[in-house]
Amino acid sequence: MKTLKTIFYYSVMTGNKGDTAIRKSITEAIKENLNIPFAFFNVKYEELTEERIINQLNTESSCLIIAGSGLYTNYPKSSGWYFPCKTELFNKIKVPIFLIGLGCNNNLKKDIFNGDLTNQAKESIKLINDLSSVSTVRDKRTYDILKKIGINNHEMMLDPANFIKTVKIPKEQRVAINMAQHSPILGRFDGKEEGKLNRNKHLGYFLKVCNYLKKKNYKVVFIAHDALEQSLILDLKKKFNELEFVNTDNIDEMLYEYARCKFSIGMKMHSNILSFASGTPFISLYYDTKSPEYLKLIDWEDFGKSIFDVDFKWIKNKMDDLIINNLYYTKKCELKKEIEHKRFNNLIGKICNIIKNTI
């Protein structure tokens, strides 16, 4: 019997539960097919040097996986994008390369992610795609950017976290909510007035949501996707004492909560994704460009609007629609997930076959 060497897995490893969910989905899906260990590396800090490639990656691993997040982004790494490896070293990698669920961020104004990719980043991204056995991107915008660079072997597929294992349980009179403040413009402290104003405005929207749902006999639970959201929970609970909350590193606990809710209202894209993964319809109050791209892929555009452009009347109308037609939208979510899950399973099967055939 062949010995399966460790998978080298590079990704963003932060307190963001979305990154954790992507990693859990991919690794569990592969382990269902192969009994194989994973070695996890953080793209923020762990440089893939020539010595590590030659003496460790090529000798001790079965493949290199680079997965999840907006890694195709200008970033002060040795490659010019969000991968810590010099481009001239890519050709020294002798194991299969799998690029799974990557995106090209264009998030919030005034941040590092804005602007076109530099020539350095484009050349590096093209080379690693040319060398890859598998390349999937999470949205059409990223797909088109790679196409313009001259990449032709990539495929568009939903974010892997959409296919994380979930439980199917009866729905209760509950609604999950999620807010965000990980950026100064959303309210993360940096001393600027704009962030404070936006944070208070968003808290005002969600306080109205809580009070409206209470009138409709729904319980409300805040599901945190980042530890920094704890202060949002505390501030919201001061004015809405009945608020329940889940603030944990345990993804399964979060998924259980999403699964028991009738619907959710979330700012974070991975709040929307984990809701969808749990078979729970949602309203997306997004702040970036990747979220509307996601909504297009699952035919859910009518339930998304920028948090910077929304008003409570629009949110109320969408809540009423989900309350009245909840069974219809729940079945719609489940059907779309079932269709896309087959594609994901085929992808994982392909990856596992390549690993087995190259050892």
pLDDT, residue 1, reads: 47
pLDDT, residue 107, reads: 54
pLDDT, residue 323, reads: 98
pLDDT, residue 13, reads: 84
Question: What Cα–Cα distance (Å) separates residue 262 from each residue in 55, 244, 345, 357?
Answer: 52, 15, 27, 45
Predicted confidence (pLDDT) per residue in 285-320, tens digit: 999 888 999 999 999 999 999 999 999 999 999 999
What average pLDDT does range 32-55 have in this prediction?
Answer: 95
What average pLDDT does range 101-109 have in this prediction?
Answer: 73
Predicted confidence (pLDDT) per residue in 321-354, tens digit: 999 999 999 999 999 999 999 999 999 999 999 9
Region for 218 from its dihedrals, namely left if φ exceeds 0, alpha if ψ lies in -120 to 50, beta otherwise? beta
User: With contact defined as beta carbons under 8 Å apart, do 181 and 229 qualify?
Assistant: yes
User: With contact defined as beta carbons under 8 Å apart, do 268 and 246 qualify?
Assistant: no
Distance CA(350)–CA(46), nearest Å, equals 28
- Copy the structure tokens of residue 214: 């209470």
Angle between helix axes 140-149 and 290-297 (nearest 10 degrees) is: 100
Distance of CA 355 to the CA centre of its chain: 25
CATH architecture of the domain covering 6-157+340-358:
3-Layer(aba) Sandwich (3.40)
> How many CB atoms are closer than 10 A to CB 59?
11
- Within 13 Å and on the Cβ side, how many CA atoms surround 104? 23
pLDDT mean across residues, the chain: 92
Distance CA(57)–CA(37), nearest Å, equals 14
Higher-confidence residue of 255 and 111: namely 255
pLDDT, residue 359, reads: 61
pLDDT, residue 227, reads: 82
**β-strands 97-102, 134-137 pairing:** parallel
pLDDT, residue 65, reads: 98
Residue 51 has pLDDT above 60, yes or no: yes
pLDDT, residue 2, reads: 61
Where does the pLDDT of residue 111 fall: very low under 50, low under 70, confident under 90, or very high at 90 and above?
Answer: very low
* Domain spans of the chain, in order of start: 6-157+340-358, 174-324
Residue 109 has pLDDT above 60, yes or no: no
Superfamily of domain 174-324: Glycogen Phosphorylase B; (3.40.50.2000)
User: With contact defined as beta carbons under 8 Å apart, do 187 and 196 qualify?
Assistant: yes
Predicted confidence (pLDDT) per residue in 183-239, tens digit: 888 887 776 777 788 889 999 999 999 999 999 999 999 999 988 899 999 999 999
Domains 6-157+340-358 and 174-324 share a fold: yes
User: With contact defined as beta carbons under 8 Å apart, do 250 and 274 qualify?
Assistant: no
User: With contact defined as beta carbons under 8 Å apart, do 130 and 106 qualify?
Assistant: no
Predicted confidence (pLDDT) per residue in 62-74, tens digit: 999 999 888 999 9
Where does the pLDDT of residue 156 fall: very low under 50, low under 70, confident under 90, or very high at 90 and above?
Answer: very high
